[in-house]
Amino acid sequence: MKAVITTTARYVPERIMTNFDLEKMVKTSDEWIRTRTGIAERHVVEKGQTSSFMATKVAKILLHKSKTSPEDIDLIIIATVTPDMLFPATAALVQDNIGAHKAWGFDLSGACTGFLYALETGRLLVESGKYNKAIVIGVDTMSSILDYTDRNTCVLFGDGAGGVLLESSKKENGVMDSILSLDGSGGKYLHMPAGGSLLPASHDTVDKKLHYLKQEGKTVFKFAVKKMADVCLEILERNGLTCEKIKLFIPHQANKRIIDAAAQRCGFTEKQVLININKYGNTTAATIPIGLDEAVEDGVIQNGDLILLSAFGAGFSWGSMLLRWG
């Protein structure tokens, strides 16, 4: 039994925040942001819109496009570091919103690699033969944990959601291979210090701005380029492939310079690499499924094509997945 992605979907909030908007908030410039990151604008939620709001939009599009009844969904996995609340899980809120009464589900915290972790988990559960249909979504409301007075971080991220419907199939397509990794010694370089059991919310944690994302950008940058390139080369080699055989490389969108450097080290041509960071910024768990849905919509991916996904993020976490489409 294989697990095949039969449908893709994405949702980004309507409101757009441009680099020029950010120029009015912190000491930055459109020129700096574009040249250092490749970002021109990002989407951000309105007050009251949440990760479950965006994930529900994606789940409903998946059901509509695939003409699937919510009652037929067995499993919902949501990758996010910005759930609506610590519990119940975002998956529970989405399950209720779409009326998937027979589904179970959970949230998974894998930061920027979250969608790959979730896709691996979902596909193994479907491949076990016990579950037929799983919704796997990557969603993050990064604007809810950004300090809009810190130019080092607030210009980098955006809000969004993307997802897939995984269905059991006897075809030989689907996830062909995966390599997923974690190195917790990198945790201190990209994290949100407070709000968990270590530092529960208090006046002190709020005063010290500990409920915001903190990042040592340069350190993360170096690891990201190396690990993303290494893991892609490893998965290609162990499948007896060279990068010419890959129709599309969909990397996590954290910085265009990271993508360019990793793609160059692997030997991908510009045409083989999906880049949309200019429109969305870094939407954390959502970058890869948003890119996948755009590629499907634009007709870039055809049945039988090999697709390579790769991500790097907080943890440090990273990984790569090889898909055969259709």
Which residues sit at the interface with ligand UT7, rule CB under 6 A? 28, 32-33, 36-37, 112, 151-152, 155-156, 217-218, 220-221, 224, 254-255, 258, 282, 313
As measured in angstroms, the least distance from the Cβ of 68 to ligand UT7 is 32
Pick the catalytic residue from 112, 154, 232, 266. 112
Q: Quick check: 161 and 138 in contact, CB under 8 A?
A: yes
Integer Cα distance of 86 and 254 in angstroms: 25
As measured in angstroms, the least distance from the Cβ of 29 to ligand UT7 is 6
Omega cis (within 30) before 88: yes
Q: Known catalytic residue: 282?
A: yes
Nearer to ligand UT7 among residue 143 and residue 282 (C-beta): 282
Nearer to ligand UT7 among residue 8 and residue 255 (C-beta): 255
Integer Cα distance of 253 and 123 in angstroms: 23
As measured in angstroms, the least distance from the Cβ of 17 to ligand UT7 is 13
Integer Cα distance of 275 and 256 in angstroms: 8
Q: Quick check: 117 and 108 in contact, CB under 8 A?
A: yes
Integer Cα distance of 251 and 253 in angstroms: 6
Q: Known catalytic residue: 112?
A: yes
Nearer to ligand UT7 among residue 133 and residue 252 (C-beta): 252
As measured in angstroms, the least distance from the Cβ of 325 to ligand UT7 is 25
In 10 A of CB 253, how many CB atoms? 30
- Residues contacting 121, CB < 8 A, separation 6+: 77, 108
As measured in angstroms, the least distance from the Cβ of 180 to ligand UT7 is 16
Nearer to ligand UT7 among residue 28 and residue 173 (C-beta): 28
Pick the catalytic residue from 232, 252, 255, 266. 252
- List the one residue out of 60, 16, 40, 62 whose CA is nearest residue 296: 62
**Residue nearest to ligand UT7 according to CB distances in the complex:** 217
Q: What is the DSSP letter of 27?
A: S
Nearer to ligand UT7 among residue 4 and residue 220 (C-beta): 220
Catalytic residues: 112, 252, 282
